[in-house]
Amino acid sequence: MVARVTVLSVVDAIADDLRRRVLSGELGPGEALTEAEVASRYEVARATAKASIEKLVTEQVLVRSNHKTARVVQLGPDDVRDIYRSREYLEAEVLRRLARDRSVPAASREANEEIGRLWQAEVYDVVDPDMRFHTSLIDSLGSPRTSRMYHSLTSEVKLCMAQLQGSQRLSPAIIVAEHQRLLDLICAGRGDDAATLLREHLGRARELLVEALGGTPGPEATLAPSVLSDAPA
């Protein structure tokens, strides 16, 4: 095994900082970022600033068309629906595969326990460990490309969160219970039921986000949470 250290180029370092500022809400949706501004703020040449901006454009953190100045991406209701639909597609099949092998990732268990621990703390931020729960499911497959695809979605989810700070959150109690139920279904080899529960789980979060963004709720009726019950298959 080769030991690896990461040497950040200036371009990467600036891109990282800009990404952080967008994700933290310091740069709001639609905000303009000219190359000259970035260059002077970080005291680098315009070419360097340009490269950083273009990197974030390919990551979909910024948007820009020819000869126009880059802006922080603005996610609308349709984007949120699409992001969550794509999450469902990928994650559902992963759950089926895990259920087939009855393989419950330890990292997922731990992430869910963490949500449970900070459940009754004064201020809790459930987003981060929640994300870890889902990504650890994906990552447990050991498929770099699948993980990479899912990562591009989670980064957009984080962007959603950043763009509606202060909106009401889902109850951590429900989240923890559903996560646990997902793991149980995997352990029981019930892939279809896990996929169905995942649809409800993600669907609820999605509709909350869509509503918070001012969109009208989707047409699909909330499914009866049949698989949440403990009735044997």
**Where do contacts with a copy of itself occur on this chain (CB under 8 A)?**
7, 9, 47, 51, 54-55, 58, 66, 82-83, 85-86, 88-90, 92-94, 96-97, 141, 143-146, 149, 152-153, 156
CB of 77: closest distance to DNA in angstroms? 24
Distance between CA atoms of 22 and 109, rounded to whole angstroms?
A: 30
**The token pair that represents 69 in the structure block:** 């100045």
Closest CA relative to residue 213, chosen from 82, 119, 61:
82
Three-point CA angle 92, 95, 96, nearest 5°: 90
Report the SS3 class of residue 210.
Answer: helix
Answer yes or no whether residue 27 interacts with DNA by CB under 7 A: no
SS3 content of the chain, % helix, strand, coil (to 5): 65, 5, 35
Answer yes or no whether residue 103 interacts with DNA by CB under 7 A: no
CB of 188: closest distance to a copy of itself in angstroms? 18
C-beta of 94 vs 111, nearer to a copy of itself? 94
CB of 60: closest distance to DNA in angstroms? 16
Answer yes or no whether residue 35 interacts with DNA by CB under 7 A: yes
Answer yes or no whether residue 45 interacts with DNA by CB under 7 A: yes
